[in-house]
Structure formats: structure tokens, C-alpha cells
Amino acid sequence: MKTVTLYTRVQCHLCDVAKEALERVRLTEPFELVVVDLDHEAPAEKRAAYDWDVPVMELDGRKIMKHRVDEARLLRLIREDAP
């Protein structure tokens, strides 16, 4: 199963919208969702890289989107190379 990591912040409206979109996609194609608070839980290199870009989504450790979720693209990426 693939893993999507959502880097977020407290009181981030775009982050809330992104999480809702990710949950919608999960209804169609299951994946593990890991939510990481960029300010309190993320490693220093992620904080430095994503500081001005939240929300950021990674798929299996690879950055795939920032700011908004393209649900069709995410679905396609999750299905790629699926067994």
C-alpha cells in the first residue's frame, strides 16, 4: 500500500481543504495517510524545504503536490505500478 504524507500547520485553511481532498481520494483508492505538523513533528530538512509551501504532499517520500490537491492526478499516481 502506498503512503501519502501531508505536511501541514495548525490553523492552515488550505491544509484542511487538502486533507478533505485526500480523504475523498482514499474512498476510491486506499492508501496510508500520514499527517505531519511541519512546525512540531517534521525533521529540520523538511521544515526548511517546505516552510512557505504548506500544504505539501509526498507519495512514498517523493514530493508530488503543494498548496492544492489535484485529485485526478493523485489517483493516477497512486494507481501507477500498483499490483
- All cell numbers assigned to 83: 499490483
What are the C-alpha distances in Å from 17 to residues 12, 26, 28, 45, 72? 9, 14, 18, 25, 16
Backbone φ and ψ for 56, nearest 5 degrees, come out as -125, 140
**pLDDT over 70, % of the chain:** 96
- Could you tell me the pLDDT band of residue 49, with boundaries at 50, 70 and 90? very high
Of the CATH numbers 3.40.50.1820, 3.40.50.12780, 3.30.230.10, 3.40.30.10, which one belongs to the domain with range 3-79? 3.40.30.10
Q: What is the pTM of this model?
A: 0.93
Element (H, E) at 19: helix 13-28
Query: How far is residue 70 from each of residues 19, 31, 63, measured CA to CA in Å?
Result: 12, 16, 13
Count the alpha carbons within 13 Å of 55 in the hemisphere toward its beta carbon. 27
pLDDT for position 82: 64
Give residue limits of the domains in the chain.
3-79
Mean pLDDT on 13-17: 97
pLDDT at 83: 58
